Structure 1
Amino acid sequence: MSDVEQPRAGAPRAGRQGGKFLRDVVIIVVAAVLASFLVKAYLVRSFYIPSASMENTLLIGDRVLVNELVPGAVPVQRGDVVVFQDPGGWLTAGQGDDLIKRVIGMPGDTVSCCDAQGRLSVNGHPVDESYVVLPPGTDRVAMDDFSVTVPKGRLWVMGDNRYDSADSRAHGTVPVSDVVGRAFLTTWPASRWTVLSRHGDVWDGVPDPS
């Protein structure tokens, strides 16, 4: 009797083990899908670049991934490329609700333009922005002079293409609360796949406002 009954006793155990395995697989798949949804919904978003204001860092038609933990959990830094909601009056009807620019001045910073080499100064420190588009036949950026101290809770932002960017020079500062996130990766087209740099070598030497 025992030779016949032992396989029968083992069969339910095998079935139970198989069922447990399938249950675990389903749980893992569901968890992975949910995690992916949460990441896309609350941590990372994709944005399309519709204008030339950030050339040559970003070109028309590029798609970028944006880290939405900035500025809530991760602070904004000088040099960050950020997406922000239109504070009002930056965009005309039909242009959408979001813009993308580089952070030049943090709250309390004094941003001035320009020295003899065409460089911006932040808190008296000139910054060599090698990524800025220069007009054909020139070796310096030529902009109208200005000097502004960024109010508390706001940012001074500018496009890398200084000759084709309606930015804080035209519209003023941006509330930090309007920042959607920091762009960190160009994902499309495939030939443009690259990590977006804040150019720490340029910005880390800027002193805090006195």
Structure 2
Amino acid sequence: MRKIVVLVGLVVSLTACGSLGDDARNKPYEVNSPTMEPTITEGSVVTANVVKPGEYQPRTGDIVVFDPPDSYGWNPDGASRILRVVAVPGDTIACCDAQGRIIRNGTGLDEPYVKPLAFGDPATFEPITVPAGKLYLLGDYREAANDSSHNGPVPVENVIGVVKR
């Protein structure tokens, strides 16, 4: 009987430790700009799965939390940012096709999550092939976003979390 009690106690303890580990890998982030609207509204709190440097495997469509590079334009306040991965290393990306869509590897993207433009034509940018170890990140509210279209690609190692959806 004593062995069963010890075994049950051990299983409960290990389960609790596993749960604490899961909680430690989730972190809330407040969205302090309209950059991801309409997908995520300004003032919302999102939960991200925390990733360690070198752990994140980039996928287009992911919404990521990242520490902006220190380069001009990216990091005016030092705060973590939230944007969508639109291109990964080796992808060629440009703006825009005749329908105003982002072009990735020669194909216009259907992005139903993007906020419609209020001021007409999108800000265009020349084709760029995303370098190894970098990501091309855009906001869903393209007119309000301070993103890769203005500041260039972001190092993959700067990603600190992937927003849970």
TM range (shorter): 0.7 to 0.9
The match for 1:30 among 13, 28, 40 is: 13
The equivalent of 1:179 in structure 2 is 159
Q: Which residue of 2 aligns with 1:57?
A: 39
Cα deviation for residue 104 of structure 1 reads: 0.9
**More helix by proportion, 1 or 2?**
1
CA RMSD of aligned residues (A): 2.4
1:79 aligns with 2:45: no
C-alpha contact (below 8 Å) 1:134/1:141 kept by paired residues: no
Deviations 1:177-207 (A, max 9, x none): 111132123xxxxxxxxxxxxxxxxxxxxxx
Q: Distance in 2 between matches of 1:20 and 1:67?
A: 37
Give me the identity figure in percent: 35
Q: One-letter code of the match for 2:102?
A: L
For residues 62 and 39 of structure 1, do their structure 2 counterparts lie closer, same or farther at Cα, with a shift above 3 Å needed?
same
Give the aligned partner of residue 151 of structure 1.
Answer: 131
Alpha-carbon distance between aligned partners in 2 of 1:49 and 1:72, rounded to the nearest angstrom: 24
Q: What CA distance in whole angstroms lies between the structure 2 residues aligned with 1:61 and 1:25?
A: 44
Shift of 1:83: 1.2
Corresponding residue to 2:82 among 87, 96, 100:
100
Moved more, 63-72 or 122-131: 63-72
Match of 2:109? 127
CA–CA separation in structure 2 for the residues paired with 1:129 and 1:104: 10
Who wins on radius of gyration, i.e. which is larger?
A: 1
Unaligned runs of 5+ in 1: 1-16, 186-210
In structure 2, relative to structure 1, the CA distance for the partners of 1:176 and 1:74 (3 Å cut) is closer
User: Using the alignment, how far apart are the partners of 1:134 and 1:141 within structure 2?
Assistant: 10
Q: Report how many aligned residue pairs link the two structures.
A: 163
Shift of 1:55: 0.3
Aligned match of 2:149? 169
> What SS class does the counterpart of residue 145 from structure 2 fall into?
coil
Q: What's the CA shift for 1:163?
A: 0.7
8 Å contact from structure 1 (residues 70, 76) kept in 2: no
Q: d(CA) in 2 for partners of 1:158 and 1:151?
A: 16
